Structure 1
Amino acid sequence: MEKKDKVLVYGAGGVQGGAVARRLLEEGYIVHTIVRSADKAAKLEEQGITAFVGDLTDASSLHAAHEGVSKVFLLLPVDYNLERNRRFIRNTVDAAKEAKVKLLVVNTSAFNPDEATGVTLYDIKRELIAYVKESGIPSIILKPTLYMENFLVPGVLSNQTLAYPVPADSAIAWISMEDAAAYSVYALNHPELAGQILPIVGSEALTGNQLAEQFSTALDREIQFFSLPVEAFEEALSPILGKDTASGLADSYKWIGLNTHLLPKPDQVIDELRSATPGTPLIEWVKQAVDNGLLAHAAGENRDT
C-alpha cells in the first residue's frame, strides 16, 4: 500500500489515541507518537507506530516527533493541575505551529460548555480551544459527551444494577471510543472542515432507565438503573485514580447533573460525519464488550444466578 502523510497521534499508547492510531495505520498513514518511556516506545514500535520518548511539560522533547508530520491529532491526558495543563497546551500547540503542520484535530475528550463554569475539567478545555484558535493552525475541534467505556469502571455494573452519577430521567447521547476514533480519522482526512467545533455523539440519547433496558436485553437479565450520588462515585474512584482526579471528575458530574440539557444531542452531529459514522447503538456496544471479555465478570454473574 502506498504510504500517505505522516500523522502525529498524541496518546497512541492509550485506549482513545490507540484507536485513532490503528485506524490511521490501516489506511496507510505513517503514525508518530510521543511516550514517556523507552519501554513503551518499543511496544508501540512493534505495532508499526514510530514512537519518540518525550514529556509534554518539556517543549524541546516534542520537536523530533513532528519532523515530516503534516497533521496532528491532539488528545491531552486527564490532569487537574491547572498550571501543568497549561504547559501541556502551550507546548503541544506551539510545537505543531513551529512544525507548520497543515491540520490539527483536537479531541477535547469531554464535553465543555462555551461559558466559564468554575469546573476545572471544563474550563481547561476552554483554554485549550482558545489557544488552538489563537495559534492560527487550521484546526478541527471535536467535542464528545460521555464515553460508553465508562461503564467498564469497576463497580458501575453489578449483578442487577447499573450505577452511574447522572440523573435517571435525563437523556444523554453516549459515544463509544471506537466511534470517536472514526470521527477523528474522518476529520484528519477532511481538512475542509477546519475552523469548526463539532459535537460527536452516538445515534441515540438514553435516560438512565433506558440504559438499564438496553443492558437488560444485551445481558439477558434484569438490570435496574441507580443514579449514584456523586459523593459515592468520588469515594469509589479515589483509590483507583487518586484523590485529585476523583475530586475533579466529581465536580464535572455535579455540573452535568444540573445541565444535562446542554449536552449535545444526536441531531447536532453534522450530516457529513453521521453518514461516515452512524454510531454504535448501546446494545451492540454491550454485546461487543461481552464478546471481547471487557464485561466478562458482569456477564458471568448472570450464569451463576
Structure 2
Amino acid sequence: MTILIVGATGTLGRQVARRAIDEGYNVRCLVRSARRASFLKEWGAELVGGDLCYPDTIERALEGVTAIIDAATARPTDSPSIKRVDWDGKVQLIQAAKAAGIERYIFFSILDADKYPEVPLMEIKRCTELFLAESGLNYTILQLAGFMQGLIGQYGIPILEAQPVWVTGKSSPIAYMDTQDIAKFAVRALKVEETSKKVFPLVGTRSWSAEEIITVCERLSGKNARVTRMPVGLLRAVRRSLRFFQWGWNVADRLAFTEVLASGKSLNASMDEVYSIFGFDVSETTTLESYFQEYFNRIMKKLKELDYEKNKSKSKKPQTKRSPFKKVNN
C-alpha cells in the first residue's frame, strides 16, 4: 500500500510519516520544499513537490496512491490564509482523492469544533468534516485536543530559563496527547475496518489546566515559574488590530483559539471505545508527566555534560601566578 502524507514536515505529520515507514508502508510525502523535507527522504519516504493551493500538483501526487493521511494546516507565518489552505486546499484534495479512487482518507480535526463557530480554524475543521462525510470516500476522522510537543516551548523552556510563563484568563483543562501516539492511531486506522466512515476523539489520558502543568514542570525541573497572566481582552484587541494587515491574518485567526483556551471548559472525551476498536491499551499511551520527565531528564543530563566539559577545559589551561609585588608594565 502506498500512502500519501500531506503536511509531513509538521509536528504531527513527521511522526505519522515515521510510523508508517517503520510499519513497512510505501510512504509518499507532498512537500513544498524538498530541502526542508530532506529528513523524510533520509527516513525512506518518496518526496513529491506540490502544494494544496495548486490542484494540478495534487493530481500528480495521487498517482498510484492507495490512502491519504491528511495532517496539513496553515502555519501562522504562512502567506496563504487559513481559509485557502485548510478549506479551499482540503476541498481540492478531497475532490482529487475521490476522482483518483483513493481507498482510505484519514483526516485530523479538532475536538468540539462544532461548539466554537467564532473560531475560524475550528469552524473550517467542522465544515471539512461534513464535506468529507458527504464525499463518498472511505474516511476516518480523528478529533484532537492538543499536542504535548507544544508544551515544551510554552512551559518547559521558559521555566528553565527563568522567563515569564504566559497564562490566559481562566485556564481550560486540555487532554494533550503525544504526537507519536496520535500517529500510531492514524496508521492503525488504515487496517481496522471498524474505523471506516467513523469519527473518533483522540486525546490524552487526562486533561490538564495551565496551573497543573506549571506545577509538574516546577517539580521536575526544581525551578519556580514566573507566571504572568494575559488579560483575554488585550488578546482580543491585538487580534482585531492584526486583521487590518494581510500579513497578520493567520496570526489573528490563531489568536482566536485563545477563546477556547480561556473559556474554562474542558477539552476532553472518553477514549474507552477508541482503545477497544483500535486494539491498543491505555497503558501504552504517554502521560503528560512521563513526557515532561523524559524532557527534563535529557536537559539536565546535557547541562551536566556541558558543565563537566567546561570545567575540564579550564583545568587543562596552565595557571600562571603573578607576584603581587612585581611591577606590571602598562
Q: Is this contact kept in 2: 1:208–1:227, CA < 8 A?
A: no
What residue identity is the alignment partner of 2:288?
L
- Distance apart, 1:152 and its partner CA: 3.0
Partner of 1:74: 70
Structure 1 residue aligned with 2:175, among 173, 191, 197? Answer: 173
SS in 1 for 2:51: coil
- Tell me if 1:146 matches 2:146: yes
State how 1:15-94 maps to structure 2 within 5 Å.
Answer: 15-40=11-36, 42-78=38-74, 80-94=81-95
How many residue pairs are counted as aligned between the two chains?
287
CA distance in 2, matches of 1:246, 1:296: 34
- Structure-2-length-normalised TM-score: 0.75
Q: Is this contact kept in 1: 2:62–2:97, CA < 8 A?
A: yes
- Distance apart, 1:209 and its partner CA: 2.5
Structure 2 residue aligned with 1:253, among 254, 258, 268? Answer: 258
Q: Is this contact kept in 2: 1:54–1:62, CA < 8 A?
A: yes
SS in 2 for 1:163: strand
- Could you tell which deviates more after superposition, 58-67 or 157-166? 157-166
Partner of 1:303: none
What residue identity is the alignment partner of 1:196?
K
What residue identity is the alignment partner of 1:201?
V
What residue identity is the alignment partner of 1:89?
K
CA distance in 2, matches of 1:234, 1:70: 46
- Tell me if 1:102 matches 2:95: no
- Could you tell which deviates more after superposition, 183-192 or 21-30? 183-192
Question: In 2 relative to 1, CA 82–259 (structure 1 residues): closer, same or farther, beyond 3 Å?
Answer: farther
What residue identity is the alignment partner of 1:105?
I
Q: Is this contact kept in 2: 1:112–1:123, CA < 8 A?
A: no
- Tell me if 1:283 matches 2:289: yes
Question: In 2 relative to 1, CA 144–234 (structure 1 residues): closer, same or farther, beyond 3 Å?
Answer: farther
CA distance in 1, matches of 2:169, 2:287: 19
Q: Is this contact kept in 2: 1:132–1:139, CA < 8 A?
A: yes
What residue identity is the alignment partner of 1:254?
E
CA distance in 2, matches of 1:274, 1:165: 37
- Distance apart, 1:270 and its partner CA: 2.2
CA distance in 2, matches of 1:226, 1:274: 42
CA distance in 2, matches of 1:207, 1:16: 22
Q: Is this contact kept in 2: 1:157–1:163, CA < 8 A?
A: no
Residues 84-116 of structure 1: per-residue CA shift (max 9 Å, x gap): 5432112111121122111111112x3342256
Question: In 2 relative to 1, CA 146–40 (structure 1 residues): closer, same or farther, beyond 3 Å?
Answer: closer
CA distance in 2, matches of 1:265, 1:229: 28
Give RMSD over aligned pairs.
3.2
Partner of 2:4: 8
- Distance apart, 1:48 and its partner CA: 0.8
Question: In 2 relative to 1, CA 212–116 (structure 1 residues): closer, same or farther, beyond 3 Å?
Answer: closer
Q: Is this contact kept in 1: 2:206–2:268, CA < 8 A?
A: no
Partner of 1:271: 275
Partner of 2:326: none
State how 1:125-274 maps to structure 2 within 5 Å.
Answer: 125-153=125-153, 157-158=158-159, 159=162, 162-165=165-168, 167-168=170-171, 170-223=172-225, 227-230=229-232, 231=234, 243-258=248-263, 260-261=265-266, 263-267=267-271, 270-272=274-276, 273=278
Q: Is this contact kept in 2: 1:152–1:295, CA < 8 A?
A: no
SS in 1 for 2:114: coil
- Distance apart, 1:60 and its partner CA: 1.4
CA distance in 2, matches of 1:139, 1:291: 40
What residue identity is the alignment partner of 1:149?
Q
Question: In 2 relative to 1, CA 228–286 (structure 1 residues): closer, same or farther, beyond 3 Å?
Answer: farther
- Distance apart, 1:54 and its partner CA: 0.9
Q: Is this contact kept in 2: 1:202–1:266, CA < 8 A?
A: no
CA distance in 2, matches of 1:131, 1:146: 23
CA distance in 1, matches of 2:50, 2:298: 32
CA distance in 2, matches of 1:206, 1:41: 33
SS in 2 for 1:9: strand
Q: Kindly name which structure, 1 or 2, has the bigger radius of gyration based on alpha carbons.
A: 2
What residue identity is the alignment partner of 2:136?
G
Question: In 2 relative to 1, CA 45–226 (structure 1 residues): closer, same or farther, beyond 3 Å?
Answer: same
- Structure-1-length-normalised TM-score: 0.81
CA distance in 2, matches of 1:222, 1:212: 9
- Distance apart, 1:127 and its partner CA: 1.6
CA distance in 1, matches of 2:7, 2:151: 21
